[in-house]
């Protein structure tokens, strides 16, 4: 009977640290709050918006305005040049499309609908029904993208509109903080306000010519997280287990390695948790499932100085809890880089009913601080 249990090396994903023990290992920091972030934080929701922009009948649309007779998505502060000013700030980073409001930080308009009508190619009205998905990508029945970036129009020559057209914009925005995001001061920066705009348009309550996506009160603060950690857990393989092992334990000795750097003036406690990804067991075990069907045995973990002595098929004080609950691990002193290792022993307790063949189990190992 061959029973295999693997661990994978640690890796970074979007600012959260994952270490996989075949049973996955993930570590996450709880430092991020909306608009307060660190490089690599990922997507942070901002808020919602809605509004309509009217272009009245007999509006004279000429010159550069023709390029956004449908609509443009541009800074609300621009008086002209919506389709050629700052267009290089529209970027795609890690699949998110948006306006770079700070180096490495995108304003992303998402989950948005565009309905109503716009100026047609003959200066009349034509219906629109478009959407912007969760990554900021527009699709649907919208005017042609005339500059390939942020301006949409059916109209291609100077004209006077022959009817009222009203376009509704409703959706959400957020900020994507990439790994290359530049740090800010403690007070942060105010991001550029981006709006849906229409040539000769009259916006909310007719006091503006746009519908703002993000808020004028938003601020973005990018700081290094007060503590970063890495984890190392060697691969685990119980190897080929003979049927004579039933009733005995199969032991694999390993080491948990953690390296944390705390740059704050406070000590920071670390806890760990393990959560089953396959079938759950009790508080301190996870069943190993055979590809042939059924459970071949239970896996237990033991951590710390007494791990080797305690390792067995019953729970001990050094047992690793595998029920998702958090267990204290260590406290990292202030302004300190503290690498350490701790004995980690895995035990497979085979069952008499185990069927021959490959078996596996998976759980997420997470560090929390």
Identify whether the C-beta of residue 13 lies closer than 8 Å to the C-beta of residue 351: no
pLDDT at 260 (0 to 100): 93
Domain 11-31+225-368, CATH 3.40.50.300 — does that match?
no
What is the length of the chain?
A: 369
Q: Flag whether pLDDT at 10 surpasses 50.
A: no
pLDDT at 207 (0 to 100): 85
Measured between alpha carbons, how far is 239 from 128 in angstroms, rounded to an integer?
Answer: 62
Question: Model confidence over 324-365: pLDDT tens digits?
Answer: 999 999 999 988 887 999 999 999 998 888 878 888 888 888
- Residue 25: beta bridge partners? 365
Residue 316 — very low, low, confident or very high, per pLDDT cuts 50/70/90? very high
Q: Is the pTM of this model over 0.85?
A: no
Q: Flag whether pLDDT at 158 surpasses 90.
A: yes
pLDDT at 329 (0 to 100): 93
Measured between alpha carbons, how far is 165 from 168 in angstroms, rounded to an integer?
Answer: 10
Residue/partner pairs of 309-313 with CB below 8 Å, 24 or more apart: 310/345, 311/249, 311/251, 311/345, 311/347, 312/249, 312/347, 313/249, 313/347, 313/349
Listed in sequence order, the residues at least 6 apart from 340 whose beta carbon sits closer than 8 Å to its beta carbon are 257, 258, 259, 330
- Residue 222: beta bridge partners? 37
CA distances for 158 relative to 64, 146, 161, 167, 304, angstroms: 9, 15, 10, 20, 77
Per DSSP, 308 falls in state: H
pLDDT cut 90: percent of the chain above it: 64
Listed in sequence order, the residues at least 6 apart from 290 whose beta carbon sits closer than 8 Å to its beta carbon are 296, 354, 355, 357, 358, 359
pLDDT at 263 (0 to 100): 84
Q: Flag whether pLDDT at 321 surpasses 70.
A: yes
Structural domain boundaries in the chain: 11-31+225-368, 36-222
The residue that leads in pLDDT, 79 or 146, is: 146
Identify whether the C-beta of residue 244 lies closer than 8 Å to the C-beta of residue 339: no
Q: Please report the beta strands in 30-187, taking only residues with DSSP state E, as ranges in sequence order.
A: 36-37, 42-55, 60-61, 71-75, 90-93, 96-102, 105-119, 125-132, 138-141, 151-152, 159-160, 165-177
pLDDT at 307 (0 to 100): 96
Question: Model confidence over 33-68: pLDDT tens digits?
Answer: 347 888 988 999 999 999 999 999 999 999 999 999
Average pLDDT over residues 199-209: 90
- Residue 128: beta bridge partners? 116
pLDDT at 355 (0 to 100): 77
Listed in sequence order, the residues at least 6 apart from 311 whose beta carbon sits closer than 8 Å to its beta carbon are 249, 251, 300, 302, 345, 347
Which of these ranges, 129-138, 183-192, 239-248, 292-301, has the smallest mean pLDDT? 239-248
Handedness of CA 235, 25, 229, 320 (dihedral sign): negative
Q: Flag whether pLDDT at 240 surpasses 90.
A: no
pLDDT at 27 (0 to 100): 30
């Amino acid at each position: 009977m061959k029973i295999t249990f693997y661990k994978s090396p640690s890796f970074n994903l979007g600012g959260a640290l994952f270490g996989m023990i075949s049973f996955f290992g993930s570590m996450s920091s709880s430092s991020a709050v909306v608009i307060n972030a660190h490089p690599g934080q990922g997507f942070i929701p901002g808020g919602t918006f809605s509004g309509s922009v009217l272009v009245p009948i007999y509006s004279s649309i000429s010159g550069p305005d023709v390029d956004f007779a449908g609509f443009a998505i541009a800074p609300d502060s621009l008086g002209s040049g919506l389709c050629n000013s700052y267009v290089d700030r529209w970027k795609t980073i890690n699949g998110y499309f948006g306006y770079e409001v700070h180096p490495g930080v995108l304003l992303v308009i998402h989950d948005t609908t565009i309905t109503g009508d716009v100026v047609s190619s003959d200066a009349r009205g034509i219906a629109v029904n478009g959407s912007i998905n969760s990554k900021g990508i527009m699709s649907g029945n919208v005017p042609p993208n005339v500059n390939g970036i942020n301006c949409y129009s059916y109209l291609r020559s100077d004209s006077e509109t022959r009817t009222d057209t009203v376009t509704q914009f409703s959706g959400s925005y957020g900020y994507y903080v990439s790994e290359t995001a530049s740090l800010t001061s403690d007070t942060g920066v105010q991001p550029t306000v981006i709006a849906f705009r229409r040539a000769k348009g009259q916006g909310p309550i007719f006091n503006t010519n746009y519908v703002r996506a993000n808020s004028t009160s938003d601020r973005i603060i990018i700081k290094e997280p007060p503590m970063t950690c890495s984890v190392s857990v060697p691969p685990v393989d119980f190897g080929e287990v003979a049927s004579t092992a039933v009733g005995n334990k199969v032991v694999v000795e390993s080491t948990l390695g953690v390296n944390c750097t705390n740059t704050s003036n406070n000590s920071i406690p670390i806890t760990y948790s393990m959560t089953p990804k396959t079938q759950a067991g009790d508080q301190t075990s996870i069943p190993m499932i055979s590809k042939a069907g059924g459970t071949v045995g239970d896996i237990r973990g033991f951590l710390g100085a007494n791990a080797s002595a305690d390792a067995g098929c019953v729970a001990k004080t050094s047992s690793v809890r595998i029920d998702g609950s958090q267990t204290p691990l260590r406290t990292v002193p202030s302004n300190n880089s503290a690498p350490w290792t701790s004995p980690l022993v895995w035990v497979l307790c085979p069952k008499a009913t185990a069927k021959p063949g490959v078996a596996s189990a998976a759980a997420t190992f997470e560090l929390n601080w």
